[in-house]
């Protein structure tokens, strides 16, 4: 076969790639449980994004299948023998909530200083379209392949992966033989820690000079809460002065607050930190744990705020909580206190802790430690759990992808094991591959999420050659 200049082929399609990507980024595909119907299993936004993605594939001549709006796919190489191996590519159309703090509308994509700003730009619509165009190049050049390709897009990756559970149960096809997900970073992610959310159920006294009526914080379990809100009453003398002193005492966290007094004398306090991906909680500032710490200091006496503001605050590795664990190969456990709910009229108040755990421990061992915490009544677990996943370096899938990465970048490839969970782990021989490069700024799950245009194009060229090498 004549040598293909993949970078030149991508450059020739730059405008089309950006236009197609923008058509996806303009869709608010956050999960919305308030609008769930049989036709919109995770709300209308994820469905709209999935349908738009499949419409692009239909436009380009692929055979598509929408599996009841949970997930869908398109296929390439349908003329190959029935027993040909299948390369799976897994992406997702859903996004985490945009939250606050954006310099522009998160669903009106903009290019500023060479970067595409929008929710989903880097997680995962941008990488998805880079990979889509990688395959599109091979199709348009009519490059002969010996393996079939199934490009699968889900709609619930950021929550419970109910999309993939439903897809595999109803698609009527066997799993692909091997594959990758363009939803992480280069050079490769061939290992992923286990992922489980455990819920602390807390009751107990709510006394003290300041009474806590309610406390909420966090949008998703896999996001560091950007802010939290508490409604309080009682001895609130000099409240704003105390808040200013608290913010000043933690100046390195760049906290900010606002208050509002209701007619009944109750005061609503909102404290803002900084969001981040739940797999890397140390990169954010948890507004909920800092608000709980403040409430403890001004007179709230509650097991809820005591746990949140004393034990969980800055406890990213689970040291104070008592669940810390480290494996020589997969690294240390991480913990994100993601969603907080307290109501003084409720006997069941909860804090959701999202764990990324290595081999050597498990969710049951974590539960046994958590339930022994003072103030915790019971601990429950999310219905969906991912156990640790690893594909050896010797596997041809891993070695091939690293070879392509090294050829295109001139950089040495190496294995990586992360706390984040990707669709790469759906297959026994599955990995995550790109699209973020070493040294890139990671803005996933944060305000002002972006992907540089040049990164998008570089990734597309790598994906084109990678798909060719895996399926030739």
Tokens of 249: 């005492």
Cβ-based neighbours of 455, under 8 Å, separated by 6 or more: 435, 436, 437, 440
33 is catalytic: no
Cβ-based neighbours of 17, under 8 Å, separated by 6 or more: 10, 129, 130, 133, 456, 457, 460
How far apart are alpha carbons 212 and 41 in whole angstroms? 36
User: At residue 267, what are phi and psi to the nearest 5 degrees?
Assistant: -115, 135
How far apart are alpha carbons 460 and 467 in whole angstroms? 11
Q: For helices 14-25 and 125-140, what crossing angle results, to 10°?
A: 140
Strand partners, 217: 228, 340
Given the residues 9, 157, 315, 465, the one annotated as active site: 157
Which is nearest to 402 in space by CA: 462, 454, 472? 462
Tokens of 124: 């995962």
User: At residue 207, what are phi and psi to the nearest 5 degrees?
Assistant: -125, -160
Given the residues 9, 94, 123, 226, the one annotated as active site: 94
How far apart are alpha carbons 235 and 9 in whole angstroms? 68
157 is catalytic: yes
User: At residue 247, what are phi and psi to the nearest 5 degrees?
Assistant: -60, -40
Q: For helices 44-59 and 125-140, what crossing angle results, to 10°?
A: 20
The residues that are catalytic are: 94, 157
């Amino acid at each position: 076969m004549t040598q293909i200049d993949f970078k030149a082929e991508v450059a020739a399609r730059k405008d089309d790639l950006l236009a197609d990507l923008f058509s996806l980024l303009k869709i608010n595909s956050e999960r919305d449980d308030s609008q769930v119907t049989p036709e919109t299993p995770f709300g209308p936004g994820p469905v709209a994004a999935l349908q738009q993605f499949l419409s692009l594939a239909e436009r380009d001549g692929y055979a598509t299948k929408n599996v009841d709006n949970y997930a869908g796919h398109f296929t390439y190489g349908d003329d190959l023998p029935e027993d040909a191996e299948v390369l799976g590519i897994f992406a997702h159309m859903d996004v985490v909530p945009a939250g606050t703090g954006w310099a522009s509308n998160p669903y009106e994509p903009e290019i500023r200083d060479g970067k595409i700003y929008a929710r989903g730009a880097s997680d995962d619509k941008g990488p998805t379209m880079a990979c889509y165009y990688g395959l599109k190049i091979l199709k348009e050049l009519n490059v002969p392949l010996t393996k079939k390709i199934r490009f699968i897009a889900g709609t619930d990756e950021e929550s419970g992966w109910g999309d993939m559970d439903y897809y595999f149960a109803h698609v009527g096809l066997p799993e692909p033989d091997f594959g990758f997900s363009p939803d992480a970073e280069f050079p490769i992610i061939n290992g992923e820690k286990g992922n489980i959310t455990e819920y602390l159920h807390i009751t107990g006294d709510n006394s003290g000079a300041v009474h806590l009526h309610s406390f909420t914080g966090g949008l998703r379990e896999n996001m560091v809460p950007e802010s939290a809100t508490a409604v309080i009453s009682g001895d609130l003398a000099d409240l704003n002065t105390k808040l200013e002193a608290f913010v000043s005492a933690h100046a390195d966290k760049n906290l900010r607050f606002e208050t509002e007094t209701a007619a009944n004398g109750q005061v609503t306090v909102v404290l803002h930190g900084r969001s981040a991906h739940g797999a890397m909680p140390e990169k954010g500032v948890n507004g909920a744990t800092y608000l709980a710490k403040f409430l403890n200091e001004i007179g709230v006496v509650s097991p809820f705020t005591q746990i949140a503001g004393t034990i969980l605050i800055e406890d990213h590795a689970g040291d104070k909580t008592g669940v810390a664990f480290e494996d020589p190969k997969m690294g240390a456990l991480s913990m994100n206190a993601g969603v907080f709910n307290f109501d003084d009229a409720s006997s069941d108040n909860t804090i959701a802790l999202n764990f990324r755990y290595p081999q050597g421990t498990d969710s049951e061992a974590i539960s046994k430690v958590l339930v022994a915490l003072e103030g915790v009544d019971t601990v429950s677990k999310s219905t969906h759990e991912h156990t640790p996943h690893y594909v050896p370096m010797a596997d041809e899938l891993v070695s091939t992808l690293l070879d392509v990465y090294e050829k295109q970048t001139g950089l040495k490839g190496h294995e990586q094991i992360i706390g984040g969970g990707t669709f790469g782990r759906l297959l026994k021989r599955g990995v995550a591959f790109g699209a973020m490069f070493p040294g890139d700024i990671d803005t996933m799950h944060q305000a002002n999420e972006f992907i540089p245009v040049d990164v998008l194009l570089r990734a597309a060229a790598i994906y084109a050659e990678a798909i060719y090498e895996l399926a030739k």
